Structure 1
Amino acid sequence: MAQYVELASGYKMPTVGLGTWQATNATEIESAVDEALKAGYRHIDTAYLYENEKSIGKVLREWLDSGRVKREDLFIVTKLPGIGVHPDRVPYFLKKSLESLQLDYVDLYLIHSPIGMQYVNDTEMWPAKDGEPLYDMDTDLEATWKAMEKEVDAGHAKSIGVSNFDEDQVERIVKIARIPISNIQVELQVYMQQKSLRETCRKHNISVCSYGPIGSPGRKALFEKRGMKFEDPGLLDDAVVKSIAEHHNKTTAQILLRFLVQEGIIVIPKSTNPQRLRANINIFDFDLSQDDMTRLTALDRKEDGRFFTFAAFKGINNHPECPKFIKSRIQK
């Protein structure tokens, strides 16, 4: 099993990366990135929205300056925030991310969401007025993509891609792209396997990266802190997953990750626990059998298995670029 996926850009993206969403405590994220690099991770996923690029950049700079790792051996991903989804703001926000990460370029730059927000300032990620979100109703994804391409030309990003786009939006970018989409990052896990989207991506040689591959169990603390209801999707406790894990003497998280990797999908599990960090990347010393794969494939609940619905964002379905998967969930 290859530990890299070759992108349309010609660069290689490590199959397993460290996800860093929800990791905003500087000490915690610095420790996690340091432990991940020690464990062999070379793919780190972040975003301007996560507000942790400076902490990640501090650790990367320490490793680079000490010679413990070469820049060409790292694969760093970050994302254009919603307030930056405008052709005029792409270079500005990528420059800010590069400054925080202390890098000259990122290996992959993604449009974090097709839903553009109005720009108020650099820190208000979800600007609102009188309780109403300030969406940019004139969001132009094609023009934004053209601006992304210019950042590749300038050497600020090796590859570019999208996140949380639906199939129609992917097809629209494909039609106008001078530099092809190298990667799409979406929710993808055993209960929601995104088969139709994956087929579209196969057709256009777009690699797929899964966020929330083990169910994003860390969301519990975040949701409860915000007074929101949390429903654990139960991936780690699924009876089929447990049975296969026991057979292979692996954790259920390792089975969930291995399943996706054998399907050719890149995964970015998030953890700040050193033991789990090492376990999450230690999935290349065993194979799931065809029977294992069949049993896991059968767990697909399609859209009913989606747990990142974005339905809590007021008025999101009124945005002209609201993805179909969000609209359909809200209409239910």
Structure 2
Amino acid sequence: MASTNASPLPAPAVPLTSSVSIPQLGFGLYKVPEDEAETIVGQALAAGYRHLDSAALYGNEAGVGRALRTAFDGGLAREDLFVTSKVWNDDQGYDSTLRAFEATRNDLGLDYLDLYLIHWPCAARGLYTETYRALEKLHDDGLVRAIGVSNFQPAHLRHLLESADVVPAVNQVELHPWLQQRELREVHAELGIATEAWSPLARGRLLDDPELTAIAAAHGVSVAQVVLRWHLQEGTIVFPKASTPERMAQNADVFGFTLEKETMRHIAGLDRGFRSGSHPDDVA
């Protein structure tokens, strides 16, 4: 159970809209088993995380909801927590998105979500503009504080904005030192879209990178801490996942050191276009 006395992490707040900000460092819930979600989320809250990244696909939102009820009963204020979820591909479309949102909201036990995203564009289905229109209604109705997308390429974003009334607050994409997405991030900067990173450690593959290992040794920290610190200094919103309190604490301990400009330039040279997950064009 999360301690209501736990201090929140000193994560910078990234503004998404004029009235909504998100903690830059959060906690990811991908592949957290439903029967372990209540315990793991409680541990994350006790470690100071106040930003939770979830999705209907993960199949664990009921367990997350149980953890949230326990935390709220213990004194955690709803307004001190930032919760994201995503509409899954099979639920795209205007009415089905609204139904999917209600299912997620009920599982989480929340009156509103802080951020709701389209999980993948699935461009061949031709539904993401209609799906986004449903998100705009949820936003207009006050059920979601901010809306956005995930895994959208520049062409998807520009097409969406031909009909959208609300610019997506974020685009959540795979991003790490081996896949730095510079072109996409330039489009984000142009359009006023914040960048969120999933798979910030390339599903653990970065942990054995010899150059990152050398940087970690020079700073007396782990490779994971180096990579998460790189994300923070790049201005990326990032949410690693962890299954133990020890790893949660280590991932959160990234505010006491800084990567030098030379080190940041060195990491910039590690980009190899490597994806640990699917390419958006391959997800139907």
Do they superpose with TM above 0.5? yes
> AA paired with 2:200?
P
Cα deviation 1:212-253 (Å, max 9, x = unaligned):
101223xxxxxxxxxxxxxxxx31111111111111111100
Give the equivalent residue in structure 2 for 1:229: none
Give the equivalent residue in structure 1 for 2:247: 276
- Structure-to-structure mapping, 1:121-132, within 5 angstroms: none
Distance between the aligned counterparts of 1:187 and 1:307, measured in 2?
Answer: 8
Distance between the aligned counterparts of 1:249 and 1:299, measured in 2?
Answer: 21
> AA paired with 1:309?
S
2:186 equivalent to 1:199: yes
Distance between the aligned counterparts of 2:232 and 2:168, measured in 1?
Answer: 20
In the alignment, which of 294, 299, 317 is matched to residue 265 of structure 2? 294
> AA paired with 1:151?
L
Q: Say if 1:33 and 1:56, in contact at 8 Å, map to a contact too.
A: yes
> AA paired with 2:147?
I
**Residue 176 of structure 1 aligns to a residue in which SS?**
coil
Structure 2 alignment gaps of length 5 or more:
1-9
Give the equivalent residue in structure 1 for 2:16: 7
Cα deviation 1:107-129 (Å, max 9, x = unaligned):
0000001128xxxxxxxxxxxxx
- % same residue: 36
Q: Say if 1:9 and 1:182, in contact at 8 Å, map to a contact too.
A: no
Structure 1 alignment gaps of length 5 or more:
117-136, 218-233, 311-322, 328-332
**CA gap 1:36/1:160 in 2 versus in 1, 3 angstroms:** same
2:228 equivalent to 1:257: yes
Distance between the aligned counterparts of 1:139 and 1:95, measured in 2?
Answer: 23
In the alignment, which of 21, 25, 28 is matched to residue 16 of structure 1? 25
Q: Say if 2:34 and 2:62, in contact at 8 Å, map to a contact too.
A: no
Give the equivalent residue in structure 2 for 1:246: 217
2:116 equivalent to 1:142: no
Give the equivalent residue in structure 1 for 2:156: 169
Distance between the aligned counterparts of 1:153 and 1:60, measured in 2?
Answer: 25
Give the equivalent residue in structure 1 for 2:5: none
2:89 equivalent to 1:82: yes
TM-score using structure 1 length: 0.79
Distance between the aligned counterparts of 1:144 and 1:48, measured in 2?
Answer: 15
**CA gap 1:138/1:33 in 2 versus in 1, 3 angstroms:** closer
Distance between the aligned counterparts of 1:25 and 1:96, measured in 2?
Answer: 16
Instruction: Choose 1 or 2 for highest CA Rg.
Output: 1
In the alignment, which of 271, 275, 278 is matched to residue 306 of structure 1? 275
Give the equivalent residue in structure 2 for 1:63: 71
TM-score using structure 2 length: 0.92
> AA paired with 2:90?
I
Runs of 4 or more consecutive aligned structure 1 residues displaced over 4 Å after TM superposition: none
**Residue 13 of structure 1 aligns to a residue in which SS?**
strand
